[in-house]
Amino acid sequence: MSRSRGHFAWIGGVLLLVAAASVLGGCRQKMADQPYYQPLSKQKSEIFADNRSSRPLVEHTVARGHLRDGSLLYTGRVNGQFAEVFPFPVTREVLRRGQERYNIFCAPCHGQTGLGNGMIVQRGHAPAASYHDDRLVTAPVGYFFDVITNGFGRMYAYNAQIAPEDRWAIVAYVRALQYSRRATLEDVPEAERVKLTAQAQAADAAPGAAGGGH
- Domain at 162, CATH number: 1.10.760.10
Asked, for residue 204, whether it belongs to a domain, the answer is no
**Which structural domain range is residue 129 located in?**
83-183
Asked, for residue 138, whether it belongs to a domain, the answer is yes
Asked, for residue 164, whether it belongs to a domain, the answer is yes
**Looking at the 3D structure of the chain, how many domains does it have?**
1
Closest CA to 70 of 91, 60, 85: 85
The reply to whether the predicted model has a pTM over 0.85 is no
Given a cut of 50, the residues of the chain with pLDDT beneath it are 212-214
Residue pair 152/82 in contact (Cβ under 8 Å)? The answer is: no
Q: What is the pLDDT of residues 6-24, one digit of tens each?
A: 555 556 565 666 665 555 5
Asked, for residue 14, whether it belongs to a domain, the answer is no
